[in-house]
Structure 1
Amino acid sequence: MAGEPDGLERLWTPHRMAYITGDKPADAPSGCPFCRKVEEGDREALVVHRGEHCYVVLNLYPYNPGHLMVCPYRHIAWYTECTEAERDEMAALTQRAMRVLAHVSAPQGYNIGINQGDAGGAGIAAHLHQHIVPRWEGDTNFLPIIGRTKAVPQLLDDTWRRVSDAWREDH
């Protein structure tokens, strides 16, 4: 290796390149990932709770540990397409998710929102989903901006277990 070391540590995350570049592996499943989760087992799909009209799932590419999404079972793209029952259950599950996350990891705040359409920043614009992102003071740094990398200090399976256990305890 040539040159002087720069004194920086490296966080190597090659598995994220396909997500960053938008390339899908040849063996990637087709169809809507949110619709597929309905057919998979809870742990495999990272589903925390299944309600009557909506379910709660961990984000596969979380901004922070405990990043949840509330998704209607129906394949709809726009919030305006929700039935009253879907809308009401999304709201109730969002409140419950906040209580569960408060118990599990004591966040100091939350980002809650729905990105609508490609122009609105929706990663999966074809299937409505609402994000619940727990936040802490100092939880962000230069990595996402400079390195296009997010350091997440907890494995998804550990997060799934903790949140699922707390959800069953009905916090």
Structure 2
Amino acid sequence: MTHDALTDGAPAGEPDGYERLWTPHRMVYIAGQDKPSGPDVAQCPFCRVPSRPDAEALVVARGERAYVVLNLYPYNSGHLMVVPYRHVADYTELDAAETVEVATLTQTAMTVLRAVMHPQGFNLGMNQGAVSGAGIAAHLHQHVVPRWGGDANFLPIVARTRALPELLADTRDRLAAAWPGAGE
């Protein structure tokens, strides 16, 4: 196939009527880099997060048994995850104190997101196992996804792309500053 056949005769780089949103950072996720497949915590990105500085790791808040972090591959701006420190895959493996803290941090995450980003609703959930959609099935995590009317436009369906209006670091800074007890 010739270059002209590929571009309808227009030189490469000429406008063709399509808008493009490039998301090359997602190739790491698509390729499966850093996805643990079992109990090896050295492979687990959720086990490595707590040893890194909060701003670098996008940690919004830390509890005794779990922490809150921005999702690197968010469905929407402000997409948080509540993650137990302990490397467990299944909700039934949490002890009572971990279960309470994951629930409490989820409630606080919703409160902070409402104050900072004013969502109209939320999706909350845990995908248990790869077959259910868990990107990192080996380490349990609770999703807290803020939602707004009209936020699910045509891009995810037609272009498999999400348009996010704010950089993750900026979102992390705003949420961390609004977290109860921040700055103490």
TM-score for both structures, normalised by structure 1 = 0.90
CA RMSD of aligned residues (A): 1.8
Matched letter for residue 18 of structure 1: V
Counterpart Cα distance in 1 of 2:102 and 2:73: 21
Q: CA deviation at 1:17?
A: 2.7
**In structure 2, which of residues 37, 60, 67 is the aligned counterpart of residue 48 of structure 1?**
60
Equivalences, count: 165
Q: Which of 21, 25, 33 is the equivalent residue of 1:15?
A: 25
1:102 Cα shift? 0.3
1:104-115 paired onto structure 2 within 5 Å: 104-115=116-127
Instruction: Measure how far apart 1:119 and its partner are.
Output: 1.0
- Rounded Cα–Cα distance in structure 2 between residues aligned with 1:37 and 1:147: 31
Q: Which amino acid aligns with 2:8?
A: A
Aligned twin of 2:81: 69
Uncovered stretches (5+) of structure 2, i.e. residues with no partner:
1-6, 35-41
Give 1 or 2 for the bigger CA radius of gyration: 2
Q: Secondary structure at the match of 2:64?
A: coil
Name the SS for the 1:48 alignment partner.
strand
**Who is 2:33 aligned against?**
24
Quote the Cα distance in structure 1 between the aligned partners of 2:181 and 2:99.
Answer: 24
Per-residue CA deviations over 1:16-59 (Å, capped at 9, x if unaligned) read 23323x2539xxxx610000001111011111111011100000
Rounded to whole Å, the distance in 1 between the matches of 2:51 and 2:91 is: 23
Is 1:2 the counterpart of 2:8? The answer is yes
Aligned to 1:144: 156
Whichever residue aligns with residue 18 of structure 2, its letter is: L
C-alpha deviation, 1:90, in angstroms: 0.6
- Structure 1 SS opposite 2:146: strand
SS where residue 69 of structure 2 aligns?
Answer: strand
Shift of 1:3: 5.7
Give the letter aligned to residue 105 of structure 2. Answer: L
Distance apart, 1:169 and its partner CA: 5.5
Indicate the residue corresponding to 1:157 in structure 2: 169
The match for 1:120 among 132, 135, 143 is 132
Specify whether residues 6 and 116 from structure 1 end up closer, same or farther in structure 2 by C-alpha distance, changes over 3 A only.
same
